[in-house]
A and B are shown apart, each in its own frame.
Chain A
Amino acid sequence: MRNVEFRIPQIMFDELFAHLFPGDHDEHGAVIAAGICESARGTRFLARKLFIAREGIDYVASKYGYRALSADFVARVSNFCAQNRLCYFAIHCHGGSDSVSFSGVDTDSHKRSYPALLDITEGGPVGALVFAQNAIAGEVWTRNGVHTLDSMTVVGLNHRRLYPAPKKSATIADNIYHRQSLLFGARGQEHLKGAKIAIIGMGGVGSLVSEWAARVGVGEIVAIDYDKLEPSNNSRVVGAMRWDAIEALLNSRFAALRALGKRLSTFKVHVGRRVARAANPKVKYDAVVGNIVDEKFALKLKDADYIFLCADSMQSRLVFNALVHQYLIPGVQIGSKVSVDRATGDILDIFCVSRPVLPQPNGGCLWCNQLISPAKLQEEAISEEQRKRQAYVDDPTIHAPSVITLNALGAAQAVNEFLFSLVGLHDDEGQVAGYRMASPRARRWSKVGCASETSCPHCGDMKTSVFAKGDRASLPCRAAS
């Protein structure tokens, strides 16, 4: 196990911190039940449920040290972890501020308890976290050995990172980033370099996000789209060249030439990779020709730091929303729409939207806000022939209006949301939920409030919710063959 990270939603962190540090300079305890995500980037533990240990009842005097979790409390919570296939993490606090580590009493206690807890929780892993005001240390026990926690990420409007001891100063950023580093700082630029972002859909919106992310210095980009370029994409997909979609072939009256034109057309993700590498030769770019609805592609995103949803199908919305909540990865859905009166051709409305989704209750969950239609999910899953027969869909040859500058409104808002979160520049910590909507005709930006339901299968706290379960729940994807 390497690169061990513990991710916790801001709301849960705030509750835990208030319990551990009420101002009495005493020691307090708690347990977190966590999911797990294992990938090539490392291991992430995902805080799902916090159990506060009540003073004198659950957190009591210990015969080995100062205080300890009571046997009843440990039994109850470890049983919960076993039943829900979650990892058990005991928590307590020490004094101090910027550095923290386990005491000898702590590690002796781990040796006494954790082998048994591993059995109770059917392999866990299990572990312990110790907090100071501005630091965290951790130990993870598996059946294969004991591992050290590298960091904690508090996932909120602003990302916050905690370590066992202060990180050494960031190196001065590359001169090409000088002007933006004046805003982000050298540390912020380093965070961008270490970040992995995912872009679902590389059309008019995704291509903008991809170029901007590469240009600001994001270290790793995964872009997913199964589509090839068409001539009509040239006006919106940044970096698309005339030869990427040869109109004369694609519109030929000969089927063989049309087929050749289709074969010679460039995949949108390959255009994105070309543009990104031109902007930033150091970027690690994974151009995935595929559909996010297929499990093998969706799982490529589970260890991302941020997800941009730039596709407009209901199926991709559902998978995006599941990834955000199941793996505690913040994301944003971006879109623009021009409504046209079918009968008269009149323009009815134009809007561009950026919907940030934070993995926590009231974080903007797309399911809670009825932005994922169950009926549309069903319709998108059946064959095209069946859809036509049932007359569910509009004529696919009729395209909706789309303009690069309208796409750019939502895309710019979303990329700023990501940048400010990653480097900690948002100033309204209390106002997490809310979508941003532009109405260009009225020359107005507005904020749309969000709903949240405790029974939600993605962000809710019911047993059936996939919230923070990570690899221990399945994604709503097409199964692998």
Chain B
Amino acid sequence: MSVAIKLEVTEAINEVGASFPGHQVDIEPDDQGGAFIRVHEIDLGSAYKPSATWVGFQITFQYPFADVYPHYIRHDIARADGKVLVTPFNHNQTFALPSGGVSAVMVSRSSKRRDPVTDTAVVKLAKVLDWIRSQ
């Protein structure tokens, strides 16, 4: 029997959807009460080639206490200026969707401290995207 996504996780997913209107948002339960989320057609800016990617992440069942990381982007992303992407970008990774893994670049940006009320999944996503765009 499958496990329902927890209320806290569902609310976080709804916030993500509301913050990215017009974007396709895929959701797959992780069978523990959490979920895998993939937001499509995110623009990373001209510093990257291709500049559009999907961004995936897992919100686990102990959210909002648990951090939301790492994030994953398409596997063939590269810098437009030809420089190599270095840590915390990690190549040859897989976004482990239950329906089938997707080749990806992992972006590992963990938070040592978080406020479960204000540091929501969508805020974390925005911070990670800001950070990627600023590199």
B3 at the interface (CB under 8 A from A): yes
Count residues on chain B whose CB falls below 8 Å from chain A CBs. Answer: 35
B65 at the interface (CB under 8 A from A): yes
3 tightest Cβ-Cβ pairs between the two chains A and B:
A381-B60, A479-B33, A377-B66
* Alpha-carbon separation in the docked complex, A382 to B68 (Å): 11
Q: From DSSP, what is the main secondary structure of chain B's interface residues?
A: loop
11 A-B residue pairs with Cβ-Cβ distance under 8 Å, sorted by A, are A370-B113, A372-B65, A374-B67, A374-B112, A377-B62, A377-B66, A389-B94, A455-B115, A464-B117, A479-B6, A479-B61
- Which residues of A lie under 8 Å from residue B69 when comparing CB positions? 375, 378
Please tell me which stretch of A196-204, A411-419, A470-478 contacts chain B, meaning at least 4 of its Cβ atoms lie within 8 angstroms of it. Answer: A470-478
A contact set with B: CB distance below 8 Å = 315, 318, 367, 370, 372-375, 377-378, 381-383, 385-386, 389-390, 455, 457, 462, 464, 474, 476-481
* Alpha-carbon separation in the docked complex, A76 to B96 (Å): 50
Which of A383, A457, A480 has a CB less than 8 Å from the CB of B65? A457
B69, closest chain A residue (CB):
A378
- Which residues of A lie under 8 Å from residue B67 when comparing CB positions? 374-375, 377-378
B86 at the interface (CB under 8 A from A): no
B127 at the interface (CB under 8 A from A): no
Q: B65 contacts A381, CB within 8 Å? A: no
Other than the given A378-B58, A378-B67, 11 more pairs (CB < 8 A) read A315-B62, A318-B62, A375-B67, A378-B66, A382-B58, A385-B96, A389-B94, A464-B117, A474-B8, A476-B65, A480-B3
* Alpha-carbon separation in the docked complex, A457 to B120 (Å): 14
- Which residues of B lie under 8 Å from residue A389 when comparing CB positions? 93-94
CB contacts under 8 Å to A, within B91-135, are 93-94, 96, 106, 108, 110-117
Which of A377, A386, A478 has a CB less than 8 Å from the CB of B32? A478
Residue of A372, A373, A381, A457 ringed by the most chain B CB atoms within 10 A: A381
* Alpha-carbon separation in the docked complex, A367 to B64 (Å): 13
- The smallest beta-carbon distance between A382 and chain B, in angstroms, is 7
- Which residues of B lie under 8 Å from residue A370 when comparing CB positions? 113
Q: A478 contacts B61, CB within 8 Å? A: yes
Q: A383 contacts B96, CB within 8 Å? A: yes
* Alpha-carbon separation in the docked complex, A478 to B64 (Å): 13
Given contacts A378-B68, A457-B116, A474-B6, contact A481 B1 (CB under 8 A): yes
B31, closest chain A residue (CB):
A481
Q: A474 contacts B3, CB within 8 Å? A: no
A463, closest chain B residue (CB):
B117
B7 at the interface (CB under 8 A from A): yes
B50 at the interface (CB under 8 A from A): no
Given contacts A390-B70, A479-B4, contact A374 B65 (CB under 8 A): yes
Q: A381 contacts B117, CB within 8 Å? A: no
Q: A390 contacts B108, CB within 8 Å? A: yes
B34, closest chain A residue (CB):
A381
Q: A455 contacts B7, CB within 8 Å? A: no
Which of A381, A386, A390, A457 has a CB less than 8 Å from the CB of B66? A381
- Which residues of B lie under 8 Å from residue A382 when comparing CB positions? 58, 60, 96
- Which residues of A lie under 8 Å from residue B90 when comparing CB positions? 390
- The smallest beta-carbon distance between A366 and chain B, in angstroms, is 11
Which of B61, B112, B113 has a CB less than 8 Å from the CB of A381? B61
* Alpha-carbon separation in the docked complex, A477 to B62 (Å): 6
* Alpha-carbon separation in the docked complex, A318 to B60 (Å): 14
* Alpha-carbon separation in the docked complex, A372 to B96 (Å): 26
Contact with A along B11-45 (1 / 0, CB 8 A): 00000000000000000000011100000000000
Which of B8, B58, B112, B117 has a CB less than 8 Å from the CB of A373? B112
Given contacts A318-B65, A481-B3, contact A381 B32 (CB under 8 A): yes
